[in-house]
A and B are shown apart, each in its own frame.
Chain A
Amino acid sequence: MKKLSALIIALIVALAPLNLSYALTDSEIEALRGTKLYVYNWGEYISDGQDDTVDVNAEFEKKYGIKVVYDTFDNNEVMYSKLKSGGVSYDVVIPSDYMIARMIKEGMLQKIDFDNIPNYKYIPDKYRNLSYDPANEYSIPYTVSYVGLIYNTKMVDEAPVSWKALWDKDYSNQILMFNNPRDAFAIAQSLLGMDYNMESEVAWRTAAALLKEQKSVSPVYVNDEIFLKMESGEDALAPYYVGDYLTMHDNNEDLAFVYPEEGVNYFVDAACILSGAKNKLAAELYLNFLNEPDIALANAEYICYGSPNEAVYTNPEYTYYEDELLYPEEGAFKTQMFTNLSPETLALMSTLWDDVKNYIPSGGALSSVFFGGEDNSPGADAEKMTAETVKYAICIGVFLLLVAAYLLFRFIRKKYRDNI
């Protein structure tokens, strides 16, 4: 019996290449049944069965019998830190372009066997061989999208055309800003007409100075709180991803969206297989599954980001079919992609970002709450910052003095009482 099964397996293995040269065979797929596949993706980035949508992971499990263990992250850097620190092991991960370039460089990704991904045929040439993966060996585009400016038409009378709107004092306390350095710097760099991927220290410092200047309108640095804040009509202006704007617009009709004239970030999030993947065949099966026309359509409808899948965006039944915002004409506005920065520039960027976040301009949120009645004369920012520090130092000093005086008092009293 054992011999017989061994013979069958040998036969299957021998026949496999003849059978279907471009995809996994049925028996190979059958062999994966009961295994587990670990997937690491952005939050809210897959159709999950809410509100009668397709539950993609459940469908995959049903079809192939492979259990999908699914985790999410908030941003590329968090994902990178987590993978880099070890302790976690995933098969499939969906980072953004520049992060893919970095991960390829650091050997964190492995080449995909495109013979196992027949559905790659749905990805047109314009989404292949992009700068982050020039030979297209490591990644399959999952979403494509742009950053733009969301504004509330009830609060902003005239549609803004420039990123300068985010520096407009008329909207103080009503401006939101990216809470991650790369996206925040990109806005300043657009305004300054700079390349997002420059390596010049002076240029980065100039951009940081512009971001510091923005603090005089008290921007609020947000991640996903932006949904709560924009949908409730709390804030007037926010830079964010166009796909998320479409989601917000469904909940608040007053919101509108523009692509500022200085240019915006164009990005691609793509599915990759990690070097340490324990279930590579299942991972390829999963990547292929994500590009099945109906599955890709369900995801595109759910996520609201642009889809690089031809079967989706040429489908007239797709909600965002020929949508001007999601699929703008090429060259309609300036775009730039992020590429991987050198470690030195990355370190510089995080230091500068710390500086921006810690910078307190005249009349900032802090001084108004605790030390009201300050003179808000502009041009004394540096002094203001030291003044702020000195104030805290004095407050803490006085507090410590009181504590010390009290301890001394107790000590003396004890001595005194002992003497009696």
Chain B
Amino acid sequence: MSKRASFASRAAASPYIVWAALFIIAPLIFVVYYSFTNASGDFTLIYIQTLPKYLPTFLRSIWFGIVATIICLLIAFPLAYIISQKSDKAQRTFVLLVMLPMWMSFLIRTYSWIALLQDTGIINSFLNKLGIDSVHMINTGGAVILGMVYNFLPYMILPIYSVMAKLDYSMVEACQDLGGNTFNVIRRCIIPMSLPGVVSGITMVFVPSVSTFYISQKLGGGSFDLIGDVIERQFQQSYNYNLGASLSLVLMVLIVISMAIMNHFSEGEGEMVI
């Protein structure tokens, strides 16, 4: 009986295993294969050896990713908390508003930031009308980080909010009973309990920020590369799958390491953190 049940459950899981094998495991194997071979398929390390050349690009991408993630966290945490304190109806409206931009294409939204930020753009013409000098914003690192924050903010808000919305309110009451003021309630109760949401939010913002290419091309003006740009160019323009794959491999390893660090944080969830 139990054997049959396990067979049934295995049969039920098989489509997902096939899916995972085809679309997750197989591409990973291809990435590794391409990283260590040359165009004619022989084993080589030359692509791995050229990677130090891209160190500045890697560092820049990681730093931009960290900055964007921190900004997202600083905006998203209070926002998620405020939303979770509202009535049910208001919560639904706010969540809808957070998700609303995601109904439109990411590409179109990023493209329209060009029109907003450029020297003769909407923001600067408005500033000029007020008698303030134009601010050069487009084609700078700041514009790229703005683009990252704008595009990935919902991925930070939603996981934090969903944890906070389900938060056991009796804990908060217990905290208040013990004499905690609002600050202490947030610090000793809300933050530790919403940590799982924060951790998944950070992952969901950091990973796409580090690997993005469209945002840096459009808002950064292509005058400096992020690692995603380099990878994209190897596949699209140079037809150099091997170098592209080695760069992706390193990026993947970096992301896995940072996720491992992140998981350390959620390990002790529930205990007092700060």
> Chain A interface (Cβ within 8 Å of chain B)?
75, 77-78, 80-81, 84, 173-174, 179-181, 215, 218-222, 225, 228-229, 232-234, 346-347, 350, 353-354, 357-358, 360, 364-366, 368-370, 385, 388-389, 392-393, 395-396, 399, 403, 407, 410, 414
Is residue B261 within 8 Å, beta carbon to beta carbon, of the partner chain?
Answer: yes
Q: Is the CB of B221 within 8 A of A358?
A: no
Whether B140 pairs with A368 at a CB distance below 8 angstroms is: yes
Instruction: Please give, as numbers and ranges, the residues of chain A lying within 8 Å of B141 by CB-CB distance.
Output: 365-366, 369-370
Interface residue? B222 (CB, 8 A): yes
Stretch at the interface among B97-105, B156-164, B175-183, B233-241: B233-241
A-contacting residues, B75-133, CB 8 Å: 111, 114-115, 118-121
Q: Are A221 and B59 in contact (CB under 8 A)?
A: no
Evaluate whether A396 and B59 lie within 8 angstroms (CB atoms) in the complex, with A234-B121, A364-B224 already known: yes
Q: Are the C-beta atoms of B238 and A350 separated by less than 8 Å?
A: yes
Measured CB to CB, the closest approach of chain A to B138, in angstroms, equals: 8
CA distance A365 to B138 in the complex (A): 10
Is B55 at the interface (CB under 8 A from chain A)?
A: yes
Contact B238 A414 (CB under 8 A): no
Cβ A228 vs Cβ B239 within 8 A: no
Report whether B139 and A360 are in contact in the complex, using a CB–CB cutoff of 8 Å: no
Chain A residue nearest in CB terms to B264: A407
A residues in contact with B271, CB < 8 Å: 414
B260 → A minimal CB distance (Å) = 12
Interchain CA distance A232-B220 in the complex, whole Å: 18
Closest B residue to A349 using CB positions: B238
Query: Cβ of B186 < 8 Å from any Cβ of A?
Result: no
* 9 residue pairs, one from A and one from B, having the closest CB atoms: A221-B222, A220-B221, A350-B238, A392-B59, A389-B56, A77-B237, A369-B140, A369-B141, A369-B142
Measured in the bound complex, the distance between the Cα atoms of B239 and A370 in whole Å is: 34
Report the bound CA distance from A385 to B236 in whole Å.
27
Contacts A225-B114, A229-B118, A358-B56 given; does A414 touch B221 at CB 8 Å: no
Of the candidate stretches B10-18, B20-28, B60-68, the one touching chain A is: B60-68
A281–B234 Cα distance when bound, in Å, is: 36
Q: How far is the CB of A408 from chain B (nearest CB, A)?
A: 11
| B residues less than 8 Å from A346 (CB atoms) | 238
Given contacts A81-B239, A350-B237, A350-B240, is CB(A173)–CB(B66) below 8 Å? Answer: no
C-alpha gap A393/B57 in the complex (Å): 11
**22 pairs of residues in contact across A and B, judged by CB atoms under 8 Å:** A77-B237, A173-B139, A218-B221, A220-B221, A221-B217, A222-B221, A233-B120, A234-B119, A234-B121, A357-B229, A357-B230, A358-B57, A358-B225, A360-B224, A364-B223, A365-B139, A366-B140, A369-B142, A392-B59, A393-B59, A399-B66, A407-B264
Report chain A residues within 8 Å CB of B66: 395-396, 399
Residue B256 at the chain A interface, CB threshold 8 Å:
no
Q: Say whether A403 contacts B230, CB under 8 Å.
A: no
B46 to chain A, nearest CB (A): 11
- Is residue B208 contacting chain A, with contact meaning CB distance below 8 A? no
Q: Which residues of A contact B136 (CB under 8 A)?
A: 173
B72 to chain A, nearest CB (A): 15
Asked if B139 contacts A392 (CB within 8 A), the reply is no
**A81 closest partner in B (C-beta):** B239
Asked if A403 contacts B56 (CB within 8 A), the reply is: no
Contacts of B264 in A (CB 8 A): 407
Question: If A229-B118, A358-B57 touch, does A179 touch B63 (CB 8 Å cutoff)?
Answer: no
Fill in one digit per residue for B236-274: 1 if any A CB lies within 8 Å of its CB, else 0.
111110000000000000000000010011001001010
The interface bits of chain B over 193-232 (1 if a CB of A lies within 8 angstroms of the residue's CB, else 0) are 0000000000000000000000001101111110001100
Q: Which residue of chain A lies nearest to B239 when distances are taken between CB atoms in the complex?
A: A81
Given A80-B239, A365-B141, A396-B62, decide whether A215 and B223 contact each other with a Cβ distance below 8 A: yes
List, in ascending order, chain B residues with CB within 8 A of A368's CB: 140
| Contact indicator A354/B273 (Cβ below 8 Å) | no
Docked-complex contact B225 and A357, CB < 8 angstroms: yes
Q: Is A388's CB under 8 angstroms from B223's CB? A: no
The answer for the CA separation of A358 and B57 in the assembled complex, in Å, is 7
CA gap between A410 and B266 in the complex, in Å: 12
Interface pair A228/B114, CB less than 8 Å apart: yes
A193 to nearest B CB, angstroms?
A: 27
> CB distance B233 to A354 under 8 Å?
yes
Instruction: Chain A residues near B239: list those with CB within 8 A.
Output: 77, 80-81, 84
Bound: A311/B94 CA distance, A: 61
User: Given known contacts A357-B223, A364-B223, A407-B264, what 16 new A-B pairs fall within 8 Å (CB)?
Assistant: A84-B239, A173-B119, A179-B222, A220-B223, A347-B238, A350-B233, A357-B224, A357-B233, A358-B225, A366-B224, A392-B56, A392-B60, A395-B63, A396-B59, A403-B261, A414-B268
A357 to B216, CA, bound (A): 12
Inter-chain contacts of B218 with A (CB < 8 A): 225
Q: Which of B55, B121, B217, B225 contacts A389 (CB 8 A)?
A: B55
What's the minimum C-beta distance from A212 to chain B, rounded to whole angstroms?
A: 12
Q: In the complex, which of the residues B62, B120, B223, B229 contacts A232, with contact meaning CB atoms closer than 8 Å?
A: B120
Q: Which residue of B lies closest to A407 (CB)?
A: B264
The interface residues of chain B lying within 8 Å CB-to-CB of A234 are: 118-121
Contact B221 A347 (CB under 8 A): no
CB atoms of A357 and B237 under 8 A apart: no
- Closest residue on chain A to residue B55 by CB atoms: A389
Decide: B238 and A221 in contact? CB cutoff 8 A: no
Q: Is the CB of A232 within 8 A of B118?
A: yes
| A222 and B140 contacting across the interface, CB-CB below 8 Å | no
* Residue among A80, A179, A354, A396 having the largest count of chain B Cβ atoms under 10 Å: A354
User: Given the complex of chains A and B, what is the CA–CA distance between A393 and B58 in angstroms?
Assistant: 10
B199 smallest CB distance to A (angstroms): 13
Write the chain B residue with the least CB distance to A368. Answer: B140
Give Cα A365–Cα B77 distance, bound, in whole angstroms.
Answer: 31
Residues from chain A with Cβ under 8 Å of B55 in the complex: 389
A78 lies within 8 A of B236 (CB):
yes
